[in-house]
Amino acid sequence: MTDNENFEDMEQGSNEVELKEEEMEDATWGEVCRTCCVHDAKEWGFIAIGISGVLFFLYFFLVGLDLLGSSAKVIGGCTAGALFGDSTNPVAGLMVGILATVLIQSSSSSTSIVVSLVSAESVTVKAGIYMIMGANIGTSVTNTIVAMGHLGDGDELERAFAAATVHDMFNFLSVAVLFPIEIVTHYLYYLSLAAVGGGDDLREGRGDKWTGPLKKIVGPLTKSIIVPNKKNINGSC
């Protein structure tokens, strides 16, 4: 194959790429909508099955979180509340959040657990704030582990570790700024009270209790499995 033939093949390839780019740029919103929304019966069936599967597993994920909160009321009781009360060292709460997230490698799961414990009144809101800050630091370990998966290629490792470091520094600096401010002013705690429209009396049962729509959806199944007796728990304190 001569140089002229190679040049002609390269030129033809570049022309095909340009034509494809022009075709993509010329697509109208109507064509995009037809491509996304116009399907035959078989395709709509697969879409319906996929959506139903997502809703099914999402429902039982929410049921699991509700069960977690109810179990915390039964098992944790006053013991967990004594460990993580308002007088708990903030650094200890931060370390607990970091350790929990490092062990389960999921900041979403550890945050959900903390929220459930706070909802079950096993952990106070003030302690939960520090634990969630720790979860944001603990999740930085995951991206570092992923970056280490590129040890076989120096260039890939350099780029992956740089991206992981950006995420780490963002979380570290955010906690470094917010953590001392929260210790001094407790602004996040008071902001949370303002967000729910009340004060400490809500946690003591003297205020209005709002039941969200998700609680109404997953509540019947959760109550068929476990119903915590709050009077016995409070009486044991």
Domain ranges of the chain: 1-38, 40-235
What is the average per-residue pLDDT within 75-83? 56
pLDDT of residue 205: 45
Tens of pLDDT, residues 215-237? 788 888 888 887 766 555 444 55
Indicate the pLDDT class of residue 181, thresholds 50, 70 and 90. Answer: very high
Determine the Cα–Cα distance for residues 175 and 137; give it in Å rounded to an integer: 8
Select the more confidently predicted residue: 219 or 9. Answer: 219
User: What's the pLDDT score for residue 90?
Assistant: 87
Residue pair 116/73 in contact (Cβ under 8 Å)? The answer is: no
Residue 21 — very low, low, confident or very high, per pLDDT cuts 50/70/90? low
Mean pLDDT, residues 76-85: 55
In terms of average pLDDT, the best of 24-33, 69-78, 221-230 is: 221-230
Average pLDDT of the residues in 171-182: 91
pLDDT band at 161, cuts 50/70/90? confident
Structure tokens at 5: 């033939």
Rounded distance between C-alpha atoms, residue 128 and residue 148, angstroms: 31
Between residues 130 and 115, the one the model is more confident about: 130
Q: How many CB atoms lie within 10 A of CB 233?
A: 19
Among 32-41, 89-98, 121-130, the range scoring the smallest mean pLDDT is: 32-41
CB atoms inside a 10 Å sphere around CB 106: 16
Mean pLDDT of all residues belonging to the chain: 75
CA distance 119 to 76: 12
Higher pLDDT, 125 or 25: 125
**164-189 mean pLDDT:** 90
Q: Examine the pLDDT at 182 and tell me if it is beyond 80.
A: yes
Residue 214 reports pLDDT greater than 70: yes
pLDDT, residue 126, reads 86
Average pLDDT of the segment spanning 118-131: 81
Question: Which pLDDT score is estimated for 57?
Answer: 92
d(CA 131, CA 135): 6
SS in 3 state form for 55-93?
HHHHHHHHHHHHHHHHHHHHHHHHHHHHHCCCCCCHHHH
Can you give the pLDDT at residue 117?
Answer: 76
